[in-house]
Amino acid sequence: MTRQKFKVKPLEYDLIRQVLGPKIQFIQGDTACAYGALLAGCTFFAGYPITPATEIAEEMSELLPKIGGCYIQMEDEIASIGAIIGASWTGVKTMTATSGPGFSLMQENLGYGIISETPCVIVNVQRSGPSTGQPTLGAYGDMMQARWGTHGDHEIIMLCPASVQESMLLTITAFNLAEKFRTPVLLFIDGELGHMRSRVIIPEEDEIEILNRPLTTVSPEEYQPFKANSQSLVPDFAPFGTGYHTYVTGLTHNEQGLPRTTSAQIHTQLVERLANKILHNQAEMTFSEEFYADDCNIALIAYGIAAGTCLDAVEEARKQGIKVGLLRLITIWPFPEELIALWATKVRVIVVPEMNLGQMVHPIKEAVAGRCAVQLLPKIGGDLHTPAEILKVLEGLQL
């Protein structure tokens, strides 16, 4: 068989813009995610209704047929993530969206997506838990589940926007990372951000970067589906239906994709490569935002919607002469240890406001390694931290 020259379908930007409507809109965070997916080139969504993520499914069900894509409502979240992985193997960009309980259900197949190196995006619009909890209220209680929810040794990429506009743009980033590194990527917002309406500006075509999964250039006889490029550690992809006869399995496999479950060597090679695929390329996927980084002795490290509150508090504190800086984490996983360690050398104390009882504070403490104090500001029950609350803490910390 001869080599295949795969044709990558270019983004139909004009069609997408036509379908999305006016350039400036007042929309919810959930809707912004759906817009971002379309702008990223997503043509397949499989999902299941769950508060507060249902709107993403509703939006996709309306938008996708207009661009010739496919929306399918599955019978549960397990089937949803299964369907998007299956669809991704035909070469299309796929997404699903859920909340905490649904995300819990998705864990097994998420592991499958990781070991099969399937690009796809999973949005979790977090809600107050555990269990059914407070369905309509926001929380950030799944931060650790994102990292360790699925069994076995693995790395994961997870991004946390802090505004409606960013929800749209980071969805595009999530797709790009999923494609480039051939891995499921998680995008976590929460019920507040998901249902909050804000002004968004749809980016122009030249403002968007679109990345696609690396496609193989060798013939089917030469092709080894899971032999990774030695630099990127990412194997080249061959879509189903193109004659490459790829065997994809969740079992430990060799470079040919065939099961080799009794070899410790092959298992170690595979699992370590999958982890290094993320860790060695960490710089490309680590995003953050810093305020007053050079001139602070107290630091706030925040993510998600709490970061907005923090910024407000920081500006007020600065007016009072408190030397506080803010580090907003956008990439949560892989965890930016070096960045945290760097900030730990600059300040006396790091304050971590979280809409949970303390999840990210643990890797933060680990990265700080005793260089400074770390104080957790937990808040659960659905209310956001207020700027006044945070300001009070900062005032109390000031020497």
Binding site for another protein (CB under 8 A): 12-15, 17-19, 21-24, 43-44, 46, 65-68, 70, 72, 74-76, 78-80, 82-92, 94, 108-109, 112, 205, 240-251, 256, 258-259
- Taking the C-alpha atoms of residue 40 and residue 294, their distance in angstroms, rounded to an integer, is 35
**Min dist. Cβ of residue 76 to another protein (A):** 7
- Taking the C-alpha atoms of residue 159 and residue 171, their distance in angstroms, rounded to an integer, is 9
**Min dist. Cβ of residue 103 to another protein (A):** 16
Closest to another protein by CB, 88 vs 163, is 88
Closest to another protein by CB, 49 vs 65, is 65
Query: Residue 302: phi, psi to the nearest 5?
Result: -140, 165
Closest to another protein by CB, 241 vs 321, is 241
CB count, 10 Å around CB of 115? 21
Closest to another protein by CB, 128 vs 150, is 150
**Min dist. Cβ of residue 99 to another protein (A):** 19
- Taking the C-alpha atoms of residue 110 and residue 209, their distance in angstroms, rounded to an integer, is 26
**Min dist. Cβ of residue 277 to another protein (A):** 21
Closest to another protein by CB, 47 vs 52, is 47
The answer for residues whose C-beta is within 8 angstroms of residue 141's C-beta and 6 or more apart is: 100, 126, 128, 129, 130, 355, 356, 359, 380
**Min dist. Cβ of residue 94 to another protein (A):** 7
Is the preceding omega at residue 239 within 30 degrees of 0, hence cis?
no
Closest to another protein by CB, 240 vs 287, is 240
Closest CA to 297 of 348, 370, 343: 348
Helices 264-279 and 107-115, interaxial angle, to 10°? 100
**Min dist. Cβ of residue 54 to another protein (A):** 19
**Min dist. Cβ of residue 257 to another protein (A):** 9
CB of 33 closer than 8 Å to CB of 97: yes
Closest to another protein by CB, 150 vs 309, is 150
**Min dist. Cβ of residue 236 to another protein (A):** 15
**Min dist. Cβ of residue 85 to another protein (A):** 6
Closest to another protein by CB, 122 vs 305, is 122
Closest to another protein by CB, 30 vs 77, is 77
**Min dist. Cβ of residue 30 to another protein (A):** 21
Residue 197's beta-bridge partner residues?
28
Q: Is 41 left (phi over 0), alpha (psi -120 to 50) or beta?
A: left
The answer for residues whose C-beta is within 8 angstroms of residue 339's C-beta and 6 or more apart is: 286, 288, 327
Query: Residue 221: phi, psi to the nearest 5?
Result: -65, -35
Bridging pattern class, strands 42-47 and 93-98:
parallel
- Taking the C-alpha atoms of residue 381 and residue 129, their distance in angstroms, rounded to an integer, is 9
Longest dimension (CA), the chain: 74
CB of 84 closer than 8 Å to CB of 233: no
CB count, 10 Å around CB of 9? 12
Closest to another protein by CB, 129 vs 184, is 184
